Amino acid sequence: MSRYVASEIESKWQAAWAEAEVFRATRDPSRPKYYVLEMFPYPSGRIHMGHVRNYTMGDVVARYKSARGFNVLHPMGWDAFGMPAENAAMEKRVHPGAWTYQNIDAMRAQLRPLGLSIDWSREFATCDPEYYGQQQALFLDMYEKGLVTRKSAVVNWDPVDMTVLANEQVIDGKGWRSGAPVERRELTQWFFRISDYSEELLEAIDGLTGWPEKVRIMQRNWIGKSRGLQFRFATTGAPEGFGELEVYTTRPDTLYGASFAAISPDHPLAKALEGDPEVAAFVAECRRMGTSEEELETAEKKGFDTGITVTHPFDPAWKLPVYIANFILMDYGTGAIFGCPAHDQRDLDFARKYGLPVTVVVSPEGADFEVGTEAYTGPGRLVNSGFLDGMEVEDAKAAVIAKIEAEGHGRGETKYRLRDWGVSRQRYWGCPIPMVHCEKCGVVPERKENLPVRLPEDVTFEKPGNPLDHHPSWKDTPCPACGAPARRETDTMDTFVDSSWYYARFTAPHAATPTSMEDAEYWMNVDQYIGGVEHAILHLLYSRFFARAMRETGHLPASAAEPFSALFTQGMVTHETYATEGEGGRLVWREPSEVIRDEGGARLADGTPIIVGPSTKMSKSKKNTVDPEAIIAQYGADTARWFVLSDSPPERDVEWTASGAEAASRHLARVHRVVSEIAQAPEGPAGESDEASKLRSAVHRAIRDVTEGIEGFAFNKAIAKLYELTSLLAKPAGDAPGLVAARREGARALALLQRPMTPHLAEAMWEMLGGEGLIARAPWPEADPALLVEAKVTLPVQVNGKRRAEIAVPSGTDKATIEALVLADAAVRRALNGATPKKLIVVPDRIVNVVL
RNA sequence: GCGGGCGUGGCGGAAUGGUAGACGCAGGGGUCUCAAACACCCCCGCCGCAAGGCGUGUCGGUUCGACUCCGACCGCCCGCACCA
């Protein structure tokens, strides 16, 4: 009997697949297509268990759909631009490109042994000039269509390193490298006009029925459609040109509860007041915060009374003070609000701090109402509100809007929280924005024939600032319009741009235009997209926008406006975090491979104690990653694949532990042994016996259940059923008529069902069982409905919801018969103790409940 | 702070209105063996000798029946627009 040697089996069958080009996808209009895509990886240099899990899940779907007769497209590429390459350049003095391509080679080498059914001929990296050149062409087409604009935006500025920082590089308000306090600074930046599509992107969410509901909700909330009132206050004491202050509110009903007005520190009025040193000092303090919404919202609410007042629109005698407040966002609405403390928590915190009046204007039905430290945001009727008194909130909103509109102070407005997408990055390792600045002609798009605008190779990272900006010659270029000496845009694009259209490029990865319509029409949309829930908003929303932009620019058919028909958000792979204490109590993260865990706790090899932190998402920054290469080398790819699928439901986080690998490996060896025995067993007596038909029935139920598990993305359940089927087939064969044949049938089904999860082992099983050709090309097994029905069922009997007895009946027994059996049952009679049941609930083939 | 999610034995989980704990891990016992490894068999939520009772983060509600539906709370995780 042959032993299970994973390495031999896996290299043998990978070679066979390559030889037969089983996974090469070619356009074939005579067959239905299926496009399965996992979010492509960032080439960090090593794969981790998260990658193994993600790509194995996609591979299960790809191989299953292939068995179901689909022409499957399953490509792979690299999300290769981004900051880590520049950080490596600074720390290790390697060129970001060299670093990135080395990482890609290393990761590809680790990925290929997994035996994924990928069409590697379509592979590309977003940092390939062929790819980013096409991205520049897209950018120019979008510019042409008015989808690109330039405006000013606030960034995190590190005054020491003279560079823009990402939010994650700002730690406690300081630059991560320099430690200098970060400043907010305005820069002119390139934007995609995604907000023009707010309504379309919002409405289309209803049609995304293949997406998880939680992602659809998050996207709706992110777009944040609101109906409100925009109106102008008359001001007193404001500088020239600020006779009016325009504010936006979603709670116009609370206008009589207003106690102050507030403007953003970035508001033009705040800037106009900066001549006053006190204002300047306060605004400067506000600017010492980072730009992230999270930071603004969690910071202590602070304000500065400008001395300016505004007049209440419904009462000329009523003046409200105007504050500059650190929690007002310039990006939302008009950058100015009125505060109604009783009905908004932030306004209330602010009012309590500055001693401003708090007037209740909405009272929950029939209650005498006061506000303490918690604002009331629920429904109710208006009070203390003049002509609004007694109205419901919604009616009062409409009434206020109508009155303001009639008096000409403003109007009802629909607004969206979604802002335009700022894509400018002051960095080297990204796709250059193909624009040219000319003294005479202004901003001019580069000519398409000059694409790609390539990144220069000879750059240095020693100097602070953007290497493209201080490169001696790269910027110099003739103006595409007039030919005069001009200078290139030195900003590169956000890496989210790269990942917003790669799915379309995979349909024609070598085309001389961004896409080829024939291929896009055949392969789009992605039928199943798989990735982490951390991308639920930004990446997916940007991709939805980009598919529309590519429709407008003729690069995708209108039918591909929603590029991902179905989405599955898999959970993350987590691991405990390990750290040692460094200088000044600062934590120094340690890799799991450095850590020795035993009864005494955790330590390094030299005895340094380890602080064990909670299990969190595996990340490079916390070094809590695990290298799957070792597992593959030790046990083989099928074991690694089996293990990541079996332990947790795919949508949930899985904590990586070493314990499962051994068990997975043992099980696969058992599967191999059981099938090998069955393949070599002598023919038994023909005919039909109870044992044989029971086994056949169990095999067909397993076919049904495993199929359901895969279809429903419940791979862990499918695997549980495969464990059961294996145990069943492992039972020693008797000499009952037909049993040997039934076991053979079961073993063939097992091979076919193992195929998506452990494709190499499945080929070996298929070969032992004398299957024809490659199992990778065999059709999926069908469960015979006649074998699925169970003859007898056991019904639990409850008395008042507590299980007291069981009765066995033929399946499909009618209610009356069951009732009689139940009432005659000894255990039931004991539980009843002479009482007469009030009611008998019989759920056929499921349960009986006797109610007293 | 705002938005979204999750919470079941020692552990990963199953059951999505109908016998809570399928399947696996860890643990315990046994068979085989000179011995070991492998393999195979049995036990395994908690309390209790047992009968029985208790049990799905906490509290309350709906229902004949709730892990499942509703409300509040607690804890953990994800996102918050320059991480990818």
Q: Across-strand partners of A839?
A: A851
What is the Cα Rg of chain A in Å? 33
In this predicted model, what pLDDT tens digit does every residue of A247-277 receive, in sequence order? 999 999 999 999 999 999 989 999 999 999 9
Q: Is the shortest CB-to-strand distance from A302 to strand B under 7 Å?
A: no
More confident of the two residues A289 and A94: A94
The domain A657-787 is placed in CATH, from the list 2.60.40.650, 3.40.50.300, 1.10.8.50, 1.10.730.10, at 1.10.730.10
Nucleotide nearest A215, CA–C1', reads B4
pLDDT of the residue at A826: 79
- Residues 695-724/A with CB within 7 Å of nucleic chain B are 714, 716-717, 719-720, 723-724
Residues 6+ apart with CB under 8 A from A759: A13, A59, A63, A115, A117, A638, A775, A776
| Sign of CA pseudo-dihedral A139, A143, A147, A150 | positive
Strand B bases, protein C-beta under 7 A:
1-6, 11-15, 18-20, 22-26, 38-41, 53, 64-66, 76-84
**A232 band by pLDDT with thresholds 50, 70 and 90:** very high
Straight-line distance from CA A833 to C1' B47, in Å?
A: 27
Report whether A55 contacts A757 (CB < 8 A). Answer: no
Task: Give the orientation angle of helix A715-730 with respect to helix A739-754, to 10 degrees.
Answer: 150
Tokens of A233: 């206050």
Nucleotide nearest A423, CA–C1', reads B82
What is the C-alpha to C-alpha distance for residues A211 and A88, in angstroms, rounded to an integer? 37
pLDDT above 80: residue A575: no
pLDDT of the residue at A600: 46
Residues 6+ apart with CB under 8 A from A372: none
pLDDT above 50: residue A536: yes
Q: Across-strand partners of A92?
A: none
What is the C-alpha to C-alpha distance for residues A304 and A319, in angstroms, rounded to an integer? 17
Average pLDDT over residues A288-302: 84
What is the C-alpha to C-alpha distance for residues A698 and A694, in angstroms, rounded to an integer? 6
Q: Is the shortest CB-to-strand distance from A838 to strand B under 7 Å?
A: no
Domain ranges of chain A: 6-17+33-139+496-570, 225-416, 573-641, 657-787, 792-851
**A611 band by pLDDT with thresholds 50, 70 and 90:** low
- As a CATH number, domain A573-641 is 2.20.28.290
Residue A208: Cβ within 10 Å count: 19
SS3 A437: strand
Pairing of strands A435-438, A485-488: antiparallel
Q: Is the shortest CB-to-strand distance from A165 to strand B under 7 Å?
A: yes
SS3 A707: helix
Residues 6+ apart with CB under 8 A from A368: none
Closest CA to the C1' of B79: that residue is A534
Straight-line distance from CA A647 to C1' B29, in Å?
A: 27
Straight-line distance from CA A624 to C1' B40, in Å?
A: 39
| Sign of CA pseudo-dihedral A807, A811, A815, A820 | negative
What is the C-alpha to C-alpha distance for residues A839 and A852, in angstroms, rounded to an integer? 7
Report whether A764 contacts A816 (CB < 8 A). Answer: no
Longest CA span, chain A? 106
Asked if residue A403 belongs to a known ligand binding site, the reply is no
pLDDT of the residue at A601: 53
Report whether A628 contacts A598 (CB < 8 A). Answer: no
In this predicted model, what pLDDT tens digit does every residue of A665-710 receive, in sequence order? 999 999 999 999 999 988 888 888 888 998 999 999 999 999 999 9
Task: Of A105-109, A469-473, A496-500, give the lowest mean pLDDT range.
Answer: A469-473
Q: Count the helices and strands in chain A (H runs, E runs).
A: 26, 35
Please give the helix or strand (H or E) that residue A756 lies within, else none: none
- Residues 509-568/A with CB within 7 Å of nucleic chain B are 533-539
pLDDT above 60: residue A411: yes
Q: Is the shortest CB-to-strand distance from A148 to strand B under 7 Å?
A: no
Counting residues of chain A whose pLDDT is more than 90, the rounded percentage is: 64
Q: Is the shortest CB-to-strand distance from A250 to strand B under 7 Å?
A: no
How high is the mean pLDDT of chain A?
Answer: 90
In this predicted model, what pLDDT tens digit does every residue of A800-846 receive, in sequence order? 888 888 888 888 788 888 888 888 887 888 777 777 888 888 888 88
Nucleotide nearest A667, CA–C1', reads B24
Nucleotide nearest A732, CA–C1', reads B40
Closest CA to the C1' of B63: that residue is A801
Q: Across-strand partners of A609?
A: A603
What is the C-alpha to C-alpha distance for residues A600 and A603, in angstroms, rounded to an integer? 9
Task: Give the orientation angle of helix A637-646 with respect to helix A759-768, to 10 degrees.
Answer: 120
Q: Which amino acid is at A671?
A: V
Straight-line distance from CA A374 to C1' B1, in Å?
A: 14
Which CATH class for the A792-851 domain? Answer: alpha beta
Average pLDDT over residues A393-403: 93
Please give the helix or strand (H or E) that residue A147 lies within, else none: none
Residue whose C-alpha is closest to residue A811's, from A844, A836, A787 = A844
pLDDT above 90: residue A19: yes
Straight-line distance from CA A674 to C1' B35, in Å?
A: 28
Residue whose C-alpha is closest to residue A60's, from A68, A660, A78 = A68
Q: Which amino acid is at A230?
A: Q
Straight-line distance from CA A693 to C1' B40, in Å?
A: 25
Report whether A775 contacts A755 (CB < 8 A). Answer: yes
Tokens of A662: 């051994």
Nucleotide nearest A86, CA–C1', reads B83
In this predicted model, what pLDDT tens digit does every residue of A442-476 receive, in sequence order? 999 999 999 999 999 999 888 888 999 989 999 99
- Residues 561-620/A with CB within 7 Å of nucleic chain B are 572, 614, 616-617
User: Phi/psi zone of residue A711: left (φ > 0), alpha (ψ -120 to 50 degrees), beta?
Assistant: alpha
What is the C-alpha to C-alpha distance for residues A265 and A287, in angstroms, rounded to an integer? 8
What secondary structure letter does DSSP report for A44?
-
What is the C-alpha to C-alpha distance for residues A589 and A220, in angstroms, rounded to an integer? 37
Straight-line distance from CA A841 to C1' B64, in Å?
A: 7
Q: Do the domains spanning A573-641 and A792-851 agree at the CATH topology level?
A: no
What is the C-alpha to C-alpha distance for residues A675 and A764, in angstroms, rounded to an integer? 10
Q: Is the shortest CB-to-strand distance from A185 to strand B under 7 Å?
A: no
SS (HEC) of A302-326: CEEEEEEEEEECCEEEEEEEEEEEC
Average pLDDT over residues A312-316: 93
This prediction's pTM = 0.93
Report whether A136 contacts A431 (CB < 8 A). Answer: yes
- As a CATH number, domain A6-17+33-139+496-570 is 3.40.50.620
What is the C-alpha to C-alpha distance for residues A489 and A188, in angstroms, rounded to an integer? 12
ipTM greater than cut 0.90: yes
Residues 6+ apart with CB under 8 A from A462: none
What is the C-alpha to C-alpha distance for residues A399 and A418, in angstroms, rounded to an integer? 27
In this predicted model, what pLDDT tens digit does every residue of A750-784 receive, in sequence order? 999 999 999 999 999 999 999 999 999 999 999 99
Please give the helix or strand (H or E) that residue A493 lies within, else none: strand A492-493
Closest CA to the C1' of B23: that residue is A720
What is the C-alpha to C-alpha distance for residues A233 and A409, in angstroms, rounded to an integer? 8
| Sign of CA pseudo-dihedral A391, A397, A402, A405 | positive
- As a CATH number, domain A225-416 is 3.90.740.10
